[in-house]
Chains A and B, each alone.
Chain A
Amino acid sequence: MVELFSYAFMQRAFLAGLGVSVTCAILGVFLVLRRDAMIGHGLAHVTFGGVALGMVLNMAPMPVALGVAILSALGILKLKERAELYGDTAIGIISSLGMALGIFLVSLAGGFNLDLFGYLFGNVLAIDPGEVWVAFLLALAVLATVAFFYQEFLFLTFDSESARASGVRVGRLDSLMAVLTAVTVVVGMKVVGILLISALLVIPAAAALQVARNFKGAMALSAGLAVVSAGVGLISAFYLDWPPSGTIVLVSGVLFLILFASRQWVKRLGGPGSSQP
């Protein structure tokens, strides 16, 4: 096992993989409970458009994708508010437009190339040192922001009306949450890819919520499950030559099933939470 960490590319993969997974897992608890789980999926589609735009403009794809994803996240909020649409409808509109833009631009540029596939499916083992640091620092910034606004996010996730009546600026915090999600999606695209990043935002959080007794416990468990998923995924990639992104997500899926089954088992025995449907 020690030899695994003697390779610089594996050190980078672990740094980026764990950073992104934990960030997704923490943010995911809020998103799942706010019934915004699909916003990650939608923003991932938009990010594809952003990456394609960067490539066509011959610019670094990550900053362009970041700008496009942030604008789209705020656009989804505005569309919900101004057009009085349900959240999933707004996400559906923006994400499909982003994907369509990507396909259009890729077609103009003469078709898919290897780089674009790297963004779609992730390539954490090939991540370069500069990308690792960008990903790691952005993930750290997201986590620090969530920690800083923890009480506000918890209150508005639980009961936005009471939060508003306590002077919490709900609109601004909704925008902040959307921006943090956009940043996380873009940071995660090199690790698990655009197509699978939303899984990391949803599955560990949903698994933790099967058994969590309090909010801090839910976040800690979600982060722990993400670490196990990323760790097992990367180790399998090294020793068994399995695809890391797919393996990370599949492991998180297995962990979800284990926690789901254990909760059903506890319910049958009449333990804590057994009264829940």
Chain B
Amino acid sequence: MNPKDALLSVENISFRYNGLQVIQDVSFAVFPGDFLALIGPNGSGKTTLIRIILGILKPTRGRVVFMGEEMGHFSQWQRVGYVPQKATHKDPHFPASVREVVAMGLLSRKRFPRFLNRRDEASIDRALELVDMKDLQDRRIGELSGGQQQRAFIARAIVNRPNALFLDEPTAGVDAETQARFYDMLAGLNQKEGLTIVLITHDIGVITKHVNKVACLNQRLFFHGSHDEFCSSSIVQQLLQGEHHLVCHRH
């Protein structure tokens, strides 16, 4: 693929924190429609890399070009959705309804005044329907199960119809059946809505059913390629050091 067509270009990113090298010289590109799994052992820098890509952290070296804009000057926030790590572990007492949580996602596209109009309400309805949460919209977010909360956070991330969705271990603490349904839903959004997805996960066995690209990080980028290349790569198995049970299969 032509690098100029990339939706996201990560160029020679390095990051040091408290004297420790967390990420070193990482470069890769994500293209429109990709469903990329970012994998690696605990502490390998996956979350840090996503946070750099999204401008939450500044890299020590290198640059991120996202949708044609360098991250320091990025302005198209409404085209990006993000579900952070441990999103479901937020304060269970927080008095926000599911609908209010989804509405938060609209903020990036709103100008002052930021009051919600009819179009915004329709966007919220659509996002809730996509994740099958319309019936639970008035429930307090902390009262929902882990899987239901996760769907609410996905709805918040896609309420603006973004071009790219970033998820950081979205199924941590969610039961296996809910995980499977969750990944089917993501695959549907990827295929039907053309949503580009970058997913940090440890669930390699499940993910290899849906993703088309895999990036393997352990401070450096050890692998970046297609699903099939990943499945036949021996270096990946060594790198994961038995942490993941790898089952490569397609439906």
Contacts and interface: CB of A to CB of B under 8 A. Distances in A.
A153 to B, nearest CB: 11
A213 B51 CA distance: 32
A166 B142 contact: no
Contact of B104 (A148, A154, A212, A273): A154
A129 interface: no
> Top 7 nearest A-B pairs by Cβ distance?
A167-B77, A212-B95, A214-B97, A165-B82, A166-B108, A218-B95, A165-B54
Interface in A172-217: 209, 212-217
A163 B156 CA distance: 11
A152 B115 CA distance: 11
A161 B92 contact: no
Contacts of B55: 164-165
A124 B191 CA distance: 65
A166 B105 contact: yes
Contacts of B82: 162, 165-166
A161 B84 CA distance: 7
Contacts of A4: none
Contacts of B51: 161
**Size bin of chain B's contact surface:** 35 or more
A275 interface: yes
Contacts of A272: 140, 143
A159 interface: yes
Interface string B58-79: 0000000000000000110100
A93 interface: no
A158 B105 contact: no
Contact of A167 (B100, B108, B114, B143): B108
Contacts of B103: 151
A33 B94 contact: yes
A165 B80 contact: yes
A98 B78 CA distance: 43
A121 B195 CA distance: 59
Contacts of B93: 209, 276
B54 to A, nearest CB: 4
A80 B54 CA distance: 24
B73 to A, nearest CB: 12
A125 to B, nearest CB: 35
Interface of A: 33, 148, 150-152, 154-155, 158-159, 161-168, 209, 212-218, 272-273, 275-277
Nearest to A208: B95
B87 interface: yes
Nearest to A155: B104
A166 B84 CA distance: 12
B10 to A, nearest CB: 16
Contact of A214 (B96, B108, B112, B166): B96
Contacts of B105: 166
Given A151-B104, A214-B140, 11 more contacts: A148-B112, A151-B107, A159-B87, A162-B83, A162-B156, A165-B54, A165-B84, A167-B108, A214-B97, A215-B97, A218-B95
Contact of B140 (A152, A154, A159, A213): A213
B135 interface: no
Nearest to B160: A166
Nearest to B56: A164
Interface string B171-207: 0000000000000000000000000000000000000
Contacts of A217: 95
A166 B107 contact: yes
15 contacts: A150-B114, A158-B96, A158-B101, A158-B104, A162-B104, A162-B156, A164-B54, A165-B55, A165-B166, A166-B104, A167-B108, A209-B93, A213-B138, A214-B138, A215-B95
Residue in A33, A166, A272 with the greatest tally of chain B CB atoms within 10 Å: A166
Contacts of B74: 167
B90 A213 contact: no
Nearest to A218: B95
B184 to A, nearest CB: 24
Nearest to A161: B84
